[in-house]
Amino acid sequence: MNRRAATLLAVLGVVLAALPAFAGNYLLSVATLILYLAFAGQAWNVMMGFAGQLSLGHSLYVGVAAYVAGGMFFHYGLGPWAGLWLAMLVCVLMGAAIGFLAFRFGISGVYFALLTIAFAEFTRIGFDHLGWTGGPGGMFLKVAQRDQIDLANFRGPPAMYYYAMLALAAGAFALCAWLLRSRAGYYWQAIRENEEAAQALGINTFRWKMIAVMISSAMTAVAGVFFAFYYNNLFPEQIFHISRSIEIILGPIIGGVGTLFGPILGAAVLTVLADGITELLAAFGWEIPGIKQVFYGIVLLSVIMFLPNGIWPFMAKKLRL
Least Cβ distance, residue 220 to other proteins (angstroms): 24
Residues in contact with other proteins by the rule CB under 8 A? 181-183, 186-187, 189-190, 192-194, 196-205, 258
Q: Are 96 and 171 in contact (CB under 8 A)?
A: no
| Nearer to other proteins among residue 75 and residue 183 (C-beta) | 183
Min dist. Cβ of residue 258 to other proteins (A): 8
Name the residue nearer to other proteins (CB basis): 112 or 187. Answer: 187
Backbone angles phi, psi at 116, to 5 degrees: -65, -35
Least distance to other proteins, CB of residue 198, Å:
7
Which of 127, 208 has the CB closer to other proteins? Answer: 208
Indicate the residue among 21 and 201 with the shorter CB distance to other proteins.
201
Contact 36, 59 (CB under 8 A): no
Question: Measured from the CB of residue 269, what is the shortest distance to other proteins in angstroms?
Answer: 23
Least gap, CB of 320 to other proteins (angstroms): 16
CA-to-CA dists, residue 297 to 11, 42, 250, 261, 291, angstroms: 31, 21, 10, 21, 10
Alpha-carbon distance of 102 to 120, in angstroms, equals 15
CA distance 20 to 62: 26
| DSSP code of residue 260 | S
C-alpha distance from residue 265 to each of 45, 48, 150, 170, 284 (Å): 13, 17, 31, 13, 28
Nearer residue to other proteins within complex by CB, 12 or 197: 197
| Residue 128 or 195 having the CB closest to other proteins | 195
Residue with Cβ nearer other proteins (62 or 184): 184
Q: State the minimum distance, in angstroms, from the CB of residue 109 to other proteins.
A: 17
Distance of CA 307 to the CA centre of its chain: 22
d(CA 99, CA 108): 10
Burial of 234 (0-12, 13-18, 19+ CB in 10 A): buried
Are 313 and 256 contacting, i.e. CB atoms less than 8 angstroms apart? yes
- Distances 51 to 15, 170, 312 between C-alpha atoms, Å: 33, 21, 19
